[in-house]
Structure 1
Amino acid sequence: MRLPDRSDVARVASAWWLPLALACTVGTLYICFSLAQWRTLSDPSWDLAIFAEAAQAYSRFEAPIVPIKAPGYNLLGDHFHPILMLLGPIFRLFPSALTLLIVQDLLIAASVLPIARLAQRLLGRGGAVLVGLAYGLGWGLQGAVGAEFHEVCVAVPLLAVAGVAFARRRWGACMAWLAPVILVKEDLGLTVFVAGLALAWRRRGEDRSGMLVSLAYALFGIVAFIVTVKLFLPAMNPAGTWAYSLDGSATGAGTTMAGATAARQVPSLWQILTVPSVKPVTLLVLLAGAGFVGASSPWFALVLPTLAWRFAGSVNAYYQWNFWHYNAVLVPIAACALLDVIARWLAPARASAPTIVAGENDADPEGPAPASSGRRRALAWAAACVPAVSLALTASFLPLWKLPTLAESPRMAAAQGVLNVVPAGTSVESDTTLLARLVPGRDVYWVGTTAGMDAPPEYVVVDRQSYAWGGAEVDAESWASAAHPGHTYETIYSAQGFRVARRTS
């Protein structure tokens, strides 16, 4: 085996330094945002604490029991994301919910690498900067970072690498990189199914075996979805069911806050796409992320399963475009669909260039291969500019715009005081503000989910400024004593709206 010589290393470095620099830029911005958001004490949801408890359980080689959802609740019965087991070793080294935010930032940044690299192959270094930054700072990725950690961030780099492989006609690599997304979230099996159909359509002019393999891959995706929602999720859910209906309406099955999904009339296709009015905006931003022309790529069809369960659902948050985590999976699909179209436009010129084999010559010349015509090249650049223009027009509505205004909360010292008085190894019930921060080393419960416990939590933490109380004046001691009849609590800490009560009987 020939060892790489200095010229090989120089060529690879020349090819990858710009995509790497773009990925580092995106990652740095997101990490700065996450750190700033962490210091503001403005946690947008309780999900970060839920995933922190799951990561803590994995770090102990235990099932992901998450008391925040309900006592004894196995999180794999809520959404199916066994790939999060990989967080266990990381959380063991860095036991903090902030660790999950940084991991998400790094995964998103890593997804910039293949997309910027392909843009550089097609359009040169200017194209890498244009497409790489517009993608990396894209609407759905910013929204995911703003909403804090969610499992779908693991799917982002997988979708990016698979999409690039599709555009480069590397069918085996495309299927291999995309397959693990079935372990990220249950509905992504449908995305794999659509990917298999897209592969079959693109390979229809090749030999018959290629189409059959692609169709078998599509079958793998639909089977994975059915097995997950009909077998795995019901087996691990306390209520023995899939906690989320097929129309996307959360039921909360198996939790103490469970509710039945209200029966409603099935909407028409027009209503699904246009009511409420935010849906067309979400579609417009998505299409702009694909440069509009990307919608003609078979790969763009991968957005359909995610859009279907969201837009057919009855939860208003599902329709949003600027601040919702599940938009994250749409952004790499759209970007790769755009690059797929550009690659086909420039294919005649690039076909005449020497074939580049990965690992042998991964470098670019000073610019991309000459376009077959000036018109095609101009169209490619025009399409590549659309996501950047869209980002510029919507930037003020996205989370990163707020970064300069995020200042450390003056209550940070008081919050740290709460953490100091609640010992490790104890159980604690809390509202949202410090929920995620209390997780490391403790059994943490969400207020209101502990009714009926034989031994209620030893500590109760209340923040009077938390949205959980709806503006009402709440005292930890009196609330805990009322919530847990037969048990008494005493206040042991009070500072700047935070109250900590300890169980005394």
Structure 2
Amino acid sequence: MRGPDRLAVGRVVATWWLPTVIACAVGALYVFYSVAQWRALVAPSWDLGIFAEAVQAYSRFEAPIVPIKGPGYNLLGDHFHPILALLGPVYRLFPSALTLLVVQDVLIAASVLPVARLAQRLLGRGGALLVGFAYGLGWGLQGAVGAQFHEVCVAVPLLALGGVAFVERRWGACMAWLAPLVLVKEDLGLTVFMAGLAITWRARGEGRPAVLRGLAYALFGIVAFVVTVKLLLPAMNPAGTWAYSLDGSATGAGTPMGGSTAAREVPSLWDILTTPSVKLATLLVLLAGAGFVGASSPWFALVLPTLAWRFAGSVDTYYVWDSWHYNAVLVPIAACSLLDVINRWLAPERAAVGDDVDSEDDAPASPTRGRRAGAWAVACVPALSLAITASALPLWQLPTLTEDPRMAAAQGALDAVPEGASVETDTTLLARLVPWREVYWVGTTGTMDTPPEYVVVDVRSYAWGGQQVDAESWASAAHPGHSYETVYAKQGFRVARRTS
């Protein structure tokens, strides 16, 4: 290898080794947590099973029909996330819902790379460690991992890469990274719209063509949103509607368990922001993730669409900050907004050209001590916020996630349902039953002429509300005219097979 080539390779290694180490550490921690969840039989919702069925269908080059939502239910009529088809080949190689958990962990870890790399350019290696770990272990990302797989995990690295490109004024790269968001979830078209406006504002001094490109990109985002919610989702939803509109129908309309609720008035702006009070806590943690000063960046405006549909919605879990996946997309936006402000503080002339600097030693004209001290002070805010709130976040529970003593009994219940069979079950083993079986959730099979061949019940599942349930008697009562017999019963797991 020639001297200049070795020099180039050495520079790349010097630039990327620390961000890579940080990203790998975050990813390893999340994978460890997900595996611990899996071994502890933790099932916070039915969503992992739903996405496992969808990706399994993609792995077979089929439409994402998800029986868990109801017979023949096309999941693209629930939320619009065709980008999940890219996970089909991975699932085909490793057919397990655990695969989706690991994929989510890897995607989140990958988003740490550009953020830590930009922090290193601005604040040196210490900044990469501080910002990289505070971001990677951020409240919304922990919540997403704790809630298990959801489609928004694909948006996290795209938003991180797009945000870094925005800070570095690479408008084409920023637009390219964010464009696929319209294929991740329907509301993210509005986030793309806001990104277009942010680019337009920041590029306003670069001439009319730059402004027009930003406005055209914003138009693309809003058109994608309207087309998705007005045409694509209703066309594939069994009820012919967008199931999550703000009129109160956010109940999974179009499923046997759902339907629309009565239309309601959109609350006032004050109520949207303050009622219930947990919304204020969510806003406070979000602002802390941006070091508070990040709210002055035009990039921070990208949080508005997500906050709007959540806070104006009618579902309590939309409002929270310490759980579920709803905050995942906010974390990279907040982190990049903070770095945008730091970038402009440290070197306004660099912010205008996006020069690349790898460490404190490589920095151009030194900023004043006050600016650098201020930059470090605000960079510490997300880490301080994380330290204060750590006990309320999922990773704090990691030491308690030990293997469930019923694991062998659970495996016995899975083995009692043969491959190719149709099976109805509650949440505990829902996702685990998906590979090679047709899986339904209890309560979504009422319209079937012929009910599932098997019913699997975990008497300890929260799906039963503490009531004592027997698979054989429950199945016979739920499916009049058909009888079932128990073929497996151990440590609370019951499997019944249809006999007529």
**For this structure pair, what is the TM-score category when the shorter chain's length is used for normalisation?**
over 0.9
Correspondence for 2:447 = 452
TM-superposed deviation, 1:246: 3.2
- Pick from 375, 379, 383 the counterpart of residue 370 of structure 2: 375
- Where in structure 2 are the equivalents of 1:427-466 lying within 5 Å? 427-466=422-461
Corresponding position: 1:495 with 2:490: yes
| SS in structure 2 of the partner of residue 493 of structure 1 | strand
Q: Output the CA distance in 1 between the equivalents of 2:296 and 2:157.
A: 23
Q: Output the CA distance in 1 between the equivalents of 2:320 and 2:107.
A: 23
Q: Which amino acid aligns with 2:106?
A: L
TM-superposed deviation, 1:335: 0.2
TM-superposed deviation, 1:268: 1.3
TM-superposed deviation, 1:342: 0.6
Unaligned runs of 5+ in 1: 357-361
Q: Which amino acid aligns with 1:116?
A: A
Corresponding position: 1:5 with 2:31: no
Q: Output the CA distance in 2 between the equivalents of 1:351 and 1:105.
A: 32
TM-superposed deviation, 1:42: 1.7
Q: Output the CA distance in 1 between the equivalents of 2:413 and 2:326.
A: 33
Correspondence for 1:283 = 283
Contact in 1 for aligned 2:96/2:432 (Cα 8 Å): yes
Q: Output the CA distance in 2 between the equivalents of 1:255 and 1:342.
A: 48
Moved more, 100-109 or 254-263: 254-263
- Distance 1:30-1:286 versus aligned 2 partners, 3 A rule: same
TM-superposed deviation, 1:354: 11
TM-superposed deviation, 1:260: 2.3
Q: Output the CA distance in 2 between the equivalents of 1:43 and 1:387.
A: 30
Q: Cα deviations across residues 367-386 of structure 1 (Å, max 9, x unaligned)?
A: 54453211111111111000
Q: Output the CA distance in 2 between the equivalents of 1:352 and 1:218.
A: 22
Q: Cα deviations across residues 450-502 of structure 1 (Å, max 9, x unaligned)?
A: 01311110000000000111111110001111111111110000000000000
- Pick from 408, 411, 415 the counterpart of residue 420 of structure 1: 415
Q: Output the CA distance in 1 between the equivalents of 2:366 and 2:334.
A: 23
- Distance 1:305-1:349 versus aligned 2 partners, 3 A rule: closer
- Distance 1:158-1:494 versus aligned 2 partners, 3 A rule: same
Contact in 2 for aligned 1:287/1:295 (Cα 8 Å): yes
Correspondence for 2:198 = 198
Q: Cα deviations across residues 313-367 of structure 1 (Å, max 9, x unaligned)?
A: 11110000010201000000000000001111112474799944xxxxx854645
Contact in 1 for aligned 2:122/2:359 (Cα 8 Å): no
Contact in 1 for aligned 2:483/2:499 (Cα 8 Å): yes
TM-superposed deviation, 1:63: 0.2
Q: Output the CA distance in 2 between the equivalents of 1:453 and 1:266.
A: 37
Q: TM-score, normalised by structure 1?
A: 0.96
Q: Output the CA distance in 1 between the equivalents of 2:49 and 2:365.
A: 52
Q: Output the CA distance in 2 between the equivalents of 1:288 and 1:369.
A: 29
Correspondence for 2:399 = 404
Task: Percent identity, please.
Answer: 78
Correspondence for 2:390 = 395
- Distance 1:4-1:413 versus aligned 2 partners, 3 A rule: farther
| SS in structure 2 of the partner of residue 5 of structure 1 | helix
Correspondence for 2:139 = 139
Moved more, 240-249 or 197-206: 240-249
Contact in 1 for aligned 2:158/2:181 (Cα 8 Å): yes
- Where in structure 2 are the equivalents of 1:42-441 lying within 5 Å? 42-246=42-246, 249-348=249-348, 350=350, 355-356=355-356, 364=359, 366=361, 368-441=363-436
Q: Output the CA distance in 2 between the equivalents of 1:212 and 1:387.
A: 35
Q: Work out the number of aligned pairs and report it.
A: 499
TM-superposed deviation, 1:407: 0.6
Q: TM-score, normalised by structure 2?
A: 0.97
TM-superposed deviation, 1:265: 3.4
Q: Cα deviations across residues 63-102 of structure 1 (Å, max 9, x unaligned)?
A: 0000000000000000000000011000000000000000
Q: Which amino acid aligns with 1:87?
A: L
Contact in 2 for aligned 1:348/1:372 (Cα 8 Å): no
- Distance 1:320-1:300 versus aligned 2 partners, 3 A rule: same
Q: Output the CA distance in 2 between the equivalents of 1:369 and 1:405.
A: 48
Q: Which amino acid aligns with 1:158?
A: L
Q: Which amino acid aligns with 1:134?
A: A
Q: Cα deviations across residues 179-227 of structure 1 (Å, max 9, x unaligned)?
A: 0000000000000001101111111111100000000000000000000
Contact in 1 for aligned 2:68/2:444 (Cα 8 Å): yes
Q: Output the CA distance in 2 between the equivalents of 1:353 and 1:425.
A: 59
Q: Which amino acid aligns with 2:448?
A: M
Contact in 1 for aligned 2:115/2:335 (Cα 8 Å): yes
- Distance 1:193-1:4 versus aligned 2 partners, 3 A rule: farther
Unaligned runs of 5+ in 2: none
Q: Which amino acid aligns with 2:104?
A: Q
| SS in structure 1 of the partner of residue 66 of structure 2 | coil
Correspondence for 2:480 = 485
Q: Which amino acid aligns with 1:427?
A: S
| SS in structure 2 of the partner of residue 325 of structure 1 | coil
| SS in structure 1 of the partner of residue 240 of structure 2 | coil
- Distance 1:309-1:351 versus aligned 2 partners, 3 A rule: closer
Moved more, 463-472 or 364-373: 364-373
| SS in structure 1 of the partner of residue 68 of structure 2 | coil
